[in-house]
Amino acid sequence: MLRGCRKKPVPNRSSNPFERSVASSVLVIIMAVFVCGCSSSQQIDPDEYIKLGQYKGLHVDRSSYEVTEEAMQDELEMLANAYADPDGNVPEITDEFIREISEGSFQDLAAYKAALADQMRSEYDEFYDLQYYEDLWNLAVDNAEVIKDFPPGYLQEKTERSMISALKYAKSLNMSFDDFVSEKMGLTVEEFNSEAIEYAKVAAKESMVCAAIAKAENITVSDEDIEKAINEYVRLGAFESREAFEQEGPERMEELKEYILTSKVQDLIAEYAK
């Protein structure tokens, strides 16, 4: 009922510390497809290229979110605007108004605000949890040392994957690649290519660190892990069935394995964290 009253499932993102520009967000989405993947790096021995540093017992500050009066007011204003009449008259947020739109679930404004504050904290906590995992992972990667240049073909593979991902993204929006890069990312094709190369270097190290930790900790991806992940995809409606997923081809399966292995490694680092 709370979500129904709000007419909006998440807080005002203007105060979200993780808000990014459109161009930056798109770039992150594209690069995320290959930055943390581990499977390709398992074709070569990661110990030849990476010397692991500390990845156990790491500590990073874990942020928490407190609902400010300003954020609460923003939510209430959006709620009122959602119930404006055809002439644009915005209702006053009163106890009676809250009782009416919540069909009696909340007896007054105070009760509604308390429930709303709890929901806002819960929603923001999801962002902070993701940030916590990311900070731990980045620290583990920073603590590792590259002791040998990565094979040129390996770096090329990472660069090509960013291009493939961008092409797929552009196609899904019915846009040409040039228009997509220009309009959605605010880059020229040359700038995109340059950034893709730089991300490939980051991706190569992250993949090697992931593979090295997986090797050291005997972390693998089982058939059961894959089955569970595909079932979750189907449950969430991303695919109609397992058969529909498999029709995506072997590349999609490899991406899934990479994602599972990376998640397992990052979960382990979080378990080891102080």
- pLDDT at residue 29 tops 80: no
Q: Per residue in 250-268, pLDDT tens?
A: 777 888 888 899 999 999 9
Q: Per residue in 48-103, pLDDT tens?
A: 999 999 999 999 998 888 889 999 999 999 999 999 988 889 999 999 999 999 99
Better pLDDT: 130 or 35: 130
Least reliable range by pLDDT among 30-34, 108-112, 158-162, 237-241: 30-34
Residue 189: predicted pLDDT:
86
Burial class (CB in 10 A: 0-12, 13-18, 19+), 207: buried
Q: How far is CA 132 from the centre of its chain?
A: 12
For residues 223 and 212, give the distance between their C-alpha atoms in angstroms, rounded to a whole number: 21
Which one, of 16, 63, 38, 9, lies nearest residue 254 by Cα? 38
What is this structure's pTM?
A: 0.69
β-partners of residue 36 are: none
- pLDDT at residue 36 tops 50: no
Question: Mean pLDDT in the chain?
Answer: 82
Residue 175: predicted pLDDT:
87
Better pLDDT: 19 or 201: 201
Burial class (CB in 10 A: 0-12, 13-18, 19+), 84: exposed
DSSP 10: S
Sequence ranges of the domains in the chain: 2-50+60-272
Q: Which fold has domain 2-50+60-272?
A: Trigger factor, domain 2 (1.10.3120)
